[in-house]
Amino acid sequence: MTSSTAARLVRFYPRRWRTRYGQEFAALLEQHPISFKIVTNVLWSAGEAHMQAAMSQERNQGNVVGSVWSAWMIAVIAGLILYGMVDDSPLLAAMGQSSILAASWKMIQAGCVLAVSALVVAGLPLAWSIGLNAIRKRRRSIYLQLAVPLISITVFIAWIAAVLAFTNGHWAASPWAVAFSRPDWPSYSVRWITGAISAALLILCCSASAASISQLIRGDQFPELHLALPGIDVKLHPLSFAAALSPLAAAGIFVMLMGVVVWGYSAIHLSALAFHNSRGPLGLSGVASWILSTIILGLAAAISAPAAWRSWAHTTDH
């Protein structure tokens, strides 16, 4: 067959397949005369290639969204460590006097807003699709996985309420208040033990929520959503939509990391006394809390950045 005919037949294959095998396959087709059998085989093979590409794309999208969600839950832990250290501390006054500290803190907030916005916008269609799929297939396992974050929050609140009841409403088992003391608070050892349990529960809650939702995203199927309104007809594949927004969430986490690095470095040099007088969870120093928060946030960025890159690269390949 002619080279132009072979090229037309090769175009039926997915772009990634054409990039890898297109020239060799076209050269092979040119060595044979065109026939109904060859055209039929090529079209059938192209259809199989598109099906495999679609399955590969969906698996990739599930891995991307699941990884970014897990990274965000890790970032939440880092944010809680930092926010708990700064809240009601001398650093608040220092930030009011230093433009660099104030700007870097706003940078952290901007990254948080970007990541949360992307996750919420991506998560709403995804959650709706998961709910529809659970109803249609009557799968209780989906409901259980979706309930893990709510159960985790309930367990944590129940623990705080139990400690408050035991101390007659004086102590809420806050990990960030362990280093401080008030006349109506329990002893330091009681504060440290209950605060440590609260910190462990927070980590377990975030870990359980990350694992359950990530596993659900990676392993479930997501029906296409159809929104029909007067003059509007929108079809949305929720997993593809969520994967497309994943780079924004990853960018938000990275901005948070950069803000935390700049903020801590500036605090050490511009407000050393206020920084060292601040206390983090379980009585950690301000410097140690900042370092711990930076490491954890760096881990979140290291998880989300490759996932976002895979999403972008896979989209361009198709």
> What confidence tens digit (pLDDT) does each residue in 206-255 have?
999 888 888 888 766 677 777 666 666 677 788 888 888 888 999 999 99
Task: State residue 29's pLDDT score.
Answer: 73
Burial of 158 (0-12, 13-18, 19+ CB in 10 A): exposed
Question: In the predicted model, what is the mean pLDDT of the chain?
Answer: 83
* pLDDT over 60 (residue 317): no
281 contacts 137 by C-beta, under 8 angstroms: no
* pLDDT over 60 (residue 269): yes
Q: What is the mean pLDDT of residues 149-174?
A: 93
Least confident of 20-34, 143-157, 192-206: 20-34
Task: State residue 58's pLDDT score.
Answer: 57
What does the H/E/C string look like for the chain? Answer: CCHHHHHHHHCCCCHHHHHHHHHHHHHHHHCCCCCHHHHHHHHHHHHHHHHHHHHHHHHHHHHHHHHHHHHHHHHHHHHHHHHHHHCCCHHHHHHHHCHHHHHHHHHHHHHHHHHHHHHHHHHHHHHHHHHHHHHHHCCHHHHHHHHHHHHHHHHHHHHHHHHHHHCCCCCCCCHHHCCCCCCCCCCHHHHHHHHHHHHHHHHHHHHHHHHHHHHHHHHCCCCCEEEEECCEEEEECHHHHHHHHHHHHHHHHHHHHHHHHHHHHHHHHHCHHHHHHCECHHHCEHHHHHHHHHHHHHHHHHHHHHHHHHHHHHHHHC
Task: State residue 48's pLDDT score.
Answer: 61
pLDDT (tens digit per residue) in 42-83: 776 766 665 555 445 556 777 888 889 899 999 999 999 988
* pLDDT over 60 (residue 318): no
Task: State residue 55's pLDDT score.
Answer: 46
pLDDT band at 138 (very low <50, low <70, confident <90, very high): confident
* pLDDT over 80 (residue 180): yes
Can you tell me which residue has the tokens 């970007």?
114
Task: State residue 108's pLDDT score.
Answer: 94
Q: What is the mean pLDDT of residues 153-164?
A: 95
pLDDT band at 196 (very low <50, low <70, confident <90, very high): very high
* pLDDT over 80 (residue 150): yes
